[in-house]
Amino acid sequence: MTRKVSPPDPGGVARRAGVVRSGYLRAERIMSRLEAAYPDAKCALHFSNPLQLLVATILSAQSTDKMVNTVTPALFKKYRTAEQFAHADTAELESIIRPTGFFRNKARHIKEACRIIAEKHRGKVPKTMEELLERRRQENR
């Protein structure tokens, strides 16, 4: 079976014409299949609020959920809000998350994400990825 390759779309015309919509529908179909195949699937990370989930997710990059779950209790006891994470002493934060690997980058990303959440979202993690990333895109312009 040959696959038709679309020409580049530098002006984004195809996106405006419904390509994004078809991608969304495809994602919905994939999610439906996954939910049917794994009806009891649960997140292996331990968290009790959206901020903790965000931090644990950042820590999970190139690490095991088990390792993240051993680090997060002390981390979440020390830092309870986005503002506390944003203003955390970098060396102290790095020492807590060191076992997860890539601790310097992870500390930087946690602090930056929490700074944006504290400043732009009044300390609350946005409900959608689009909202969370929108502020970052605006700052990078």
Longest C-alpha distance within the chain, in Å?
A: 56
d(CA 94, CA 85): 12
Res 136: pLDDT: 65
Give yes or no for a contact between 98 and 123, defined as CB atoms under 8 angstroms apart: no
- Locate 29 and state its tokens: 């179909």
pLDDT tens-digit profile, the chain (141 residues): 444 545 555 555 555 555 566 778 888 999 999 999 999 999 999 999 999 999 999 999 999 999 999 999 999 999 999 999 999 999 999 999 999 999 999 999 999 999 999 999 999 999 888 887 776 676 677
Query: What are 103's two structure tokens?
Result: 């601790």
Q: Comparing C-alpha atoms, which of 125, 102, 103, 101 is closest to residue 113?
A: 125
- Measured between alpha carbons, how far is 135 from 90 in angstroms, rounded to an integer? 23
Helix count and strand count (H, E) for the chain: 8, 0
The Cα–Cα gap between 109 and 41 comes to 28
Residues of 45-56 as b/e, b for ≥16 C-beta within 10 angstroms? bebeeebbebbb
Q: What is the dihedral of CA 32, 36, 38, 41, to 10 degrees?
A: 60
